[in-house]
Amino acid sequence: MKETTPAAMPPCFDRWCQRFDDIFGHIAQKREFRNYLGGLLGESERKNMKQMATNAVGVTYHKLHHFLTAAPWSFRELNQRRRGGNESVSPN
């Protein structure tokens, strides 16, 4: 059963995610970042991609998997910004 929709997240969720939008080069990456983060924050006890995609309306396993495994974005830059660091981070 589908439990959540990405559009059902509170406005503060999208505002917080906007801090990272410039890290992602494509609209699809921004969308899947929100889908992944929403899945991690969701109520499901299982936090794997298949379960996250199954629990959310409009989220597909294939797109979520591609975002995490093949899309070109820097997890180091994202994590540095998440922690509040302002230093430049190399892409490797």
pTM above 0.85, yes or no: no
pLDDT in tens, 20-66: 999 998 999 999 999 999 888 888 888 899 999 988 888 999 999 99
Q: What is the band of 86 on the pLDDT scale with cuts at 50, 70, 90? A: low
φ/ψ bin of 24: left (φ > 0), alpha (ψ from -120 to 50), beta (otherwise): beta
What's the rounded Cα separation, in Å, for the pair 89 and 86? 9
Please tell me whether residue 63 adopts helix, strand or coil conformation. Answer: helix
pLDDT > 60? residue 92: no
DSSP-assigned beta bridge partners for residue 56: 4
